[in-house]
Structure 1
Amino acid sequence: MAKFPRDEFDDIPTLPRVGAHRAPARKGRGWIRFAWAALATGVLVLVGVIGLALVNDSFRFDLPSLAGESSPPPTEAPPATAEPVTDPSAIDPALGLTITVLNASPVDELDEQIGDTLEEQGWPVGARNTAADRDFPDTIVFYNGEQFEGIARGILAAIGEPGDVQLSDAYPGAPVTVVLGADRAE
């Protein structure tokens, strides 16, 4: 085998860095990378929040420090409540009233008992069912429009206390929904 004479490229110094980038890293280079990553993260979060605010109208991002001084809430008169409709025959048939009775109490068949009571008094009971959750604490008569508030109050009077009346669109199947709670178990 042929022997070549030694030259300067045969003796490579032993340095901790090898390859094309043999120069030592500059001081503070890690902080610069961290700053760029933090800036990019902040920009992405800001763009996401602004995009969410544009797409979803119910999204609100309120900062208490930017809100300024809070003024005391204005005192309002309590909202007027409708008079209870206690006579089902006085209800306009054009309303198309149907009542749903849901049993959310631990007592079985309570929806049937209350539904029978309402039908005996002339109320148009459409459906009687057991609710998916049987741990509803209070009996509430839900109505889905202001025109049904008096009817809801009359139904609560017909089934007796305890109970409450609330405006809600959570039960779209009927204008008035009676949810029987655990307070009826006693």
Structure 2
Amino acid sequence: MAQKFPRDRFDSIPHGIDRVGAHRAPARRGAGWITFGWAALATVVLAAVGIGGVMVFNDRLNFGEAPVASPSATPVVTAEPVIAPDIPVLVLNGTATAGLAAKASETLTANGVPVGSAANASDETLTETVVYYATPDLEGAARGVAQFLPEADVRMSEQFAATGNQLVVVLGSDYAEATAG
């Protein structure tokens, strides 16, 4: 038989408390947003510290003084332009302009540069004229060729050396525009 106990203060449940036997006050309104805010802030801080740590570890972030260019910085040394009569030049037209390789070949031959052959490049949408040389010792010869071609740049590339060509001129649309007049 169930025993009857006298009523006390714990028998009266305040209005709005759904859980019986819980000895805590109801949760404050908006308490979940405060917890979410602290969690979001902690996430942002930890991510920033992690990214900063990785950047410092990889030497991408330097907290020292900013580098200052010294007035005595050594300039980039380039080879003097020379004509190499024993190295024939391959001239490739990298534009849709017909006869451009032949025109450049005539200019080079007239200035003492030997031209091995002239042809169209596989890409006809090139915008810049470049004289490629296969080995570092050919930079002077490449600059010698480039001095006769307006807008020509000089770059080392071993790609053409595999085909047996030491000096290759690839004409771009800048050469076509410079010689159009």
Answer whether TM exceeds 0.5 for this pair: yes
Q: Please list the CA deviations of residues 123-171 of structure 1 after superposition, one character each: whole Å capped at 9, or x if unmatched.
A: 1211211001101110111111121111111111122x21211111121
- Distance change (3 Å), C-alpha of 1:178 and 1:121: same
Q: Please list the CA deviations of residues 86-140 of structure 1 after superposition, one character each: whole Å capped at 9, or x if unmatched.
A: xx3xx374xxx12110000221111011112212222121121100110111011
CA contact (8 A) 1:106 1:185 kept: no
2:81 matches 1:84: yes
- Could you state the TM-score of these two structures normalised by the residue count of structure 2? 0.56
Work out which of the residue numbers 163, 166, 176 in structure 1 matches 2:155.
166
CA contact (8 A) 1:99 1:178 kept: yes
2:173 matches 1:182: yes
Q: 2:111 maps to what in 1?
A: 121
CA contact (8 A) 1:140 1:178 kept: yes
- Distance change (3 Å), C-alpha of 1:74 and 1:174: farther
Unmatched 5+ residue regions in structure 2? 1-53
- Could you state the TM-score of these two structures normalised by the residue count of structure 1? 0.54
CA contact (8 A) 1:140 1:164 kept: yes
CA contact (8 A) 2:55 2:61 kept: no
- Distance change (3 Å), C-alpha of 1:101 and 1:65: same
Letter in 2 for 1:127: S
- Distance change (3 Å), C-alpha of 1:92 and 1:118: closer
Q: SS of the residue aligned with 1:115?
A: helix
Letter in 2 for 1:143: Y
Q: Percent identity?
A: 33
Figure out how many residues of one structure are paired with residues of the other and give that number: 116
2:147 matches 1:157: yes
Q: SS of the residue aligned with 2:138?
A: helix
Q: 1:67 maps to what in 2?
A: 58
Unmatched 5+ residue regions in structure 1? 1-62
Q: SS of the residue aligned with 1:82?
A: coil
Structure 1 residue 69 displacement after superposition: 5.5
Instruction: State which structure, 1 or 2, has the greater radius of gyration over its C-alpha atoms.
Output: 2
- Distance change (3 Å), C-alpha of 1:134 and 1:79: same
Q: SS of the residue aligned with 1:185?
A: helix
